[in-house]
Structure 1
């Protein structure tokens, strides 16, 4: 109930954060077989860099 009331007070949603989480999960699924965490980290940084 608090979340619903906060939307009407602030007019903000968690949509941006949900989108970021979805992209992270997608990259993690595609990263199956990466040889190290450094490769996974490099993929994340490349994906989210401007």
Structure 2
């Protein structure tokens, strides 16, 4: 089984933060030779990453919202009036 599949499997199956952290550490040892820089980054943020096991939520929705707002700002080439910008942002999500 590939490292990617192993990671996907334990991310879906494990229920506790402690179990997730232990499995992640095992996986990181195996993945070091293939994903060197990524493994280093994951180790630096392991506690935060393992918070996923507490509530099973990600920040994907918020990232999508931020991306949409940045796109509106780019398309407008800067708003002259804050109220117009606010209206455009609110209209985007209705």
Q: TM-score, normalised by structure 2?
A: 0.46
Larger radius of gyration: 2
The root-mean-square deviation of aligned C-alpha atoms, in Å, is 1.4
Matched, 1:36 2:57: no
Counterparts in 2 of 1:8 and 1:39: CA distance versus 1, 3 Å: same
- In structure 2, the partner of 1:5 is 50
Q: TM-score, normalised by structure 1?
A: 0.78
4+ residue runs over 4 A deviation: none
Where structure 2 has 5 or more consecutive residues not aligned to the other structure, the ranges are: 1-45
| Whole-angstrom distance in 2 between the partners of 1:7 and 1:38 | 37
- In structure 1, the partner of 2:42 is none
Deviation at 1:33, TM superposition (A): 4.9
| Whole-angstrom distance in 1 between the partners of 2:48 and 2:81 | 39
